[in-house]
Every structure is written in structure tokens, then in C-alpha cells.
Amino acid sequence: MLMTLIAFVVALGLLIAVHEWGHYRMAVACGVKVLRFSVGFGKVVLRYKPRRQRPGQDTEFVVGLLPLGGYVRMLDEREAPVPPEERHLAFNTQPLRSRALIVAAGPVANLLLAVLLYALVNWIGVTEPRAILAPPVAGSVAEQAGLQGGELVRRAALSGDELEPVASFESLRWLLTRGVLDGRDVVLEVARAADGRGRELSLPLSTLQVPEVDARLFRKIGIVAPRTRPVIGDVMAGGAAARAGLRSGDLVLRMGSMPVNDGQQLREMIRATAQQGRPPALAWQIERAGQSLSIEVRPDVREEGGQTVGRIGAYVGAAPEMVKVSKGPLQGLWAGAERVWEVSALSLKLLGRMLMGELSLKNLSGPIAIADYAGKSAAMGLTYYLGFLAFISVSLGVLNLLPVPVLDGGHLMYYLWESVTGKPVADAWLERLQYVGMCLLLSMMAIAVYNDIANRLG
């Protein structure tokens, strides 16, 4: 819990500070006087004012008690009287181009930060599962396409694009997600370890109709997890595995008449034994210390999430085969920029499909989910936390560029109107639009928080 809180506060503080720094630096560059740079709202808990300021500046840097946002307060005749000798330093007296640049600089700073963070992940390298597939889910797109499990995905691409090497299983999942949201098929070049010969096949993801991007999506695709050896891990005392005589390190070869070649497959088979009531006792063929043995196992019945499932009281499946993914300086930077572009495009498509009713609003996540992800990624290691920060930074940048009043994109929309008509938006209209924008933003936040709570309550 403490790590989750620290990781969340650090993430929020960093991303807000970078966003506001973008506004601040562009304001200074455009000759606008900045009065206050604040990270957080409410009561000031930290305050700093440099003795040596840039020409024309007198900026106070503060940290507010509530770390849920920030602001850059500039000299502006619409907020307070401005001395005649400083009028040229006021925000409202600047040319349209300067005002637009200052407003856009915040979201752009978040996007540039995301490029750098993704590049750092690429340079440091991250250890991920190799793209060796487990047996596909029965009846799924992958099974119908001819995948059987055990295939190594060498290269892949969205339909119409050139095939590119697949670095890891996570890279493959990202491509599949893009394929579903883009409504495009995915082409795979796979090879079985037995013969090493490659073949191409197509996953018709454009045919999938999915209201939510979650674990059920990948079950429909059929590619849920990388292949793992079906090895028995820690055995709980008193469980079905212990009663049957299974031991840690046993390799399961067959469950009844069904061959087993993957840990995920074995877990699914054990769960399914309770579908017909009390699970039958089945002869498991296992390999122990180089010897083949037959052991009779009867799984226990458990109620989980409203379903009746079989359990044996043991950890099932070894860790997948791992590979370290890293890139050189220029390649890593370019890959970071590409990922920011892909995440931005995907975020906009996701929002668009939710507005059109093609995707459920359950895809919106709020601060509780973000805090949870922050803690989990921090616990996994530095590169995972950096990747999480990059993703949230992209989301913050894209969100703020949406043409919604009260957001930076809304102000840019006002400036677009001014550039076309030659007149600023009337104050009465500004007030109405700000009210509408605030209602939209609060509604989105309410839905996101509701989704967070609903997900945590199951």
C-alpha cells in the first residue's frame, strides 16, 4: 500500500510538473511575465522564489496540498489590473501565435517526456516473455486460423503493412490490441520449434466486435499467455495435489486421455473439471526425475466469481522463456517516438469509438486504477515503472489536446475561431462553453471513478 501511494504521488507530481513547465517555459520564451508556477492546488506547503530571475520575470514556485493538478499564473488584464509599463508582458496582449504556443506547450511537453521515457526503457532494456504461443483458446480466432501452441512468432504486422520482427510476447499483445481497435487483421509469421520452418497465417481481427478492451478480448483472439512448461510448483498441504502425491517439479505430460504441453492449458483443464459437478479422478501421466509415473488426481471444487471451478492446491506452470529487449541510442529514441504516436492514435480511436457507442464506457479508468498500476509497475522494476509513466504521460497530453472547454485543446479551439473570424470568442459564449466543458469533464471523471470502484468490488 505504501509503495502504491509513493509511486502514484511521484508519477502525478512528475507529470503535472512537466506539463506546467511546458506552459512556463514557452511563456518566458514569448516574453510573458509569469507570477506563479504551482504543482497542486489548495494550501501552499512549499514555496520558493529565486533571487535571480530572468529579465521581466518575478515567478514564485509553489507546491499545493492537493496534488491533483497545477497551474501557471501569468500577468493578464482579464484577471487583475496591469501597470501600463508592464502591459507588453501580459498574456492577453500577446499575438495569437504566441498565446497558442503557450497553451499547446503543456501537452507537447508531456508527449516529449513520453518519448524520452520510452527511449529510456529501450536503452536500459526490459526482460519479457519470448513470443512462443500457448495452445489457443478453444473456438477462438487463433485456433480457427490454425495455431496449435508451441509456435514462435518471428514476424508480424497489421494487414497491408510490412512484416517486422516480434521482440517479445508483450510486443505481440500490443500489435493485437492495435489490430482490434483499428479494425484490421494481423498477419503472423510463425515457426514450430520442432522443425523451424516458417509459415504465414492471418488472424481476422476485423471481424471481432468487442465492447471492452480487457482479458476477455484476448480470450476471443485466443492468444492469452506465452507458452510455459506444465510443471507443478509449490504444493499446499491438504490440497488435492498433496493428497494425490504430486510434488514440486513434476512435469505433467497427460491428464486422462488429453496430452498436456503448456501450463496455461493445464490450468484451464483443471478449472474445467468441475463443470459437470464433482470432478472425476483422472490418471495423470507425469515425469519425475527422468521417470514416467501415473498418478490419480481428483481436483477439489471451489466457487470463484460466481463460477464452479476445479482446483488442486498447487502452483501450476513454470515461468515462460524470457528474452531481454533493448535498442541502441538512435533506434531506441525512434522507437520511443513511434510508440508515442501509436499510443496517441489508439487513445483517440478508443475515445472516438466510446463516443459513437461502439465501445463501452467501462474502458475509462480513473485515479484508483492508475494508482494501482503505479504500485504494481514500481514493484516489477524501474523499466516497467518508466513504461507506466510514459503511457500516462501520453494519455495526459492527448486528453489536454481534446477540443473540450477548460482543457488546453478548448483554448486552442477558441484561438482557431479567432484566427478565422478575426475576433475573440465573446465573453458570454466563453462562460457558457466553460460550463459545458466542466460538466463533460466531471462526468468523465465520475464514470472513471465508478469503473474503478466497480472493478475493485468485482
Residue 188 is predicted with a pLDDT of 94
Q: Are residues 304 and 380 both part of a single domain? A: no
Q: Are residues 239 and 222 both part of a single domain? A: no
Residue 450 is predicted with a pLDDT of 74
**Residue 191's domain is classified under what CATH number?**
2.30.42.10
Q: Are residues 345 and 458 both part of a single domain? A: yes
Domain-terminating residue out of 325, 348, 376: 325
Q: Residue 116's closest CA among 18, 24, 8?
A: 18
Q: Which residues of 67-97 are buried (b: 16+ CB within 10 A; e: fewer)?
A: beebebebbbeeeeebeeeeeebbbebbeee
Over residues 40-86, the pLDDT tens digits come to 888 889 999 988 888 888 899 999 988 778 999 999 988 889 898 89
Residue 355 is predicted with a pLDDT of 77
Task: Determine, yes or no, domain membership for 3.
Answer: no
Please provide residue 254's backbone torsions phi and psi, each rounded to the nearest 5 degrees: -155, 140
Q: What is the extent of the structural domain holding 246?
A: 232-319
Domain-terminating residue out of 300, 325, 350: 325
Residue 204 is predicted with a pLDDT of 92
Domain-terminating residue out of 277, 301, 319: 319
CA distance 113 to 15: 9
Q: Are residues 421 and 433 both part of a single domain? A: yes
Q: Are residues 222 and 157 both part of a single domain? A: yes
Task: Determine, yes or no, domain membership for 151.
Answer: yes
Task: Determine, yes or no, domain membership for 290.
Answer: yes
The structure's pTM equals 0.85
Q: Which residues pair with 73 in a beta bridge?
A: 36
CA distance 46 to 376: 29
Residue 252 is predicted with a pLDDT of 93
Q: Are residues 184 and 244 both part of a single domain? A: no
Q: Are residues 111 and 187 both part of a single domain? A: no
Q: Which residues pair with 231 in a beta bridge?
A: 251
Q: Are residues 266 and 305 both part of a single domain? A: yes
Residue 366 is predicted with a pLDDT of 65
Residue 181 is predicted with a pLDDT of 82
Q: Which residues pair with 296 in a beta bridge?
A: 283
Low-confidence ranges of the chain (pLDDT < 70): 1, 193-196, 210-215, 305, 358-361, 363-364, 366-370, 373, 452, 455-458
Report whether 401 contacts 107 (CB < 8 A). yes
Residue 368 is predicted with a pLDDT of 67
Q: Are residues 259 and 170 both part of a single domain? A: no
Count of domains forming the chain: 3
Q: Which residues are catalytic?
A: 20
Residue 68 is predicted with a pLDDT of 78
